[in-house]
Structure 1
Amino acid sequence: MAIWDFVKDAGKSLFGSEAEAKEAPTQPAQDPQADTDRKVAALKGELKALGLTGKDVHLTLRGDTVVIAGQARDQETLEKLILAVGNIKGIARVELAEGAGTETPAPAGAKPVFHTVQKGETLSAIAQKYLGKAGRYTEIFEANKPMLTDPDKIYPGQTLRIPQA
Structure 2
Amino acid sequence: MGLWSFVKDAGASLFGSEAEAAEAPEAAAAKEEALKKEVAKLGLDAKDVQIKVEGDKVKLTGKASTPEAQEKIILAVGNVDGVAEVEAEDHPDAPAPVFHTVKKGDTLSAVAKATLGNANRYMEIFEANKPMLSHPDKIYPGQMLRIPQK
TM-score, structure 1 normalization: 0.85
| Residue in 1 that maps onto 2:11 | 11
Of 62, 74, 89, 2:54 maps to 62
Of 56, 77, 80, 2:72 maps to 80
Segments of structure 2 that go 5 or more residues without pairing to the other structure are: none
Answer yes or no: is 1:48 the counterpart of 2:40: yes
Amino acid paired to 2:49: V
Answer yes or no: is 1:161 the counterpart of 2:146: yes
Aligned residues: 149
Amino acid paired to 1:15: F
Q: Is contact 1:57-1:70 (8 Å) kept?
A: yes
Q: Is contact 1:8-1:90 (8 Å) kept?
A: yes
Amino acid paired to 1:30: A
| Residue in 1 that maps onto 2:24 | 30
Alignment identity in percent?
58
Q: Which structure: larger Rg?
A: 1
Q: Give a deviation string over 1:20-59, Cα, whole Å, max 9, x none.
A: x39xxxxxx532xx11111100000000001113221101
Of 96, 114, 120, 1:129 maps to 114
Q: Secondary structure at the match of 1:71?
A: coil
The alignment yields a C-alpha RMSD, in angstroms, of: 1.6
Segments of structure 1 that go 5 or more residues without pairing to the other structure are: 23-28
TM-score, structure 2 normalization: 0.93
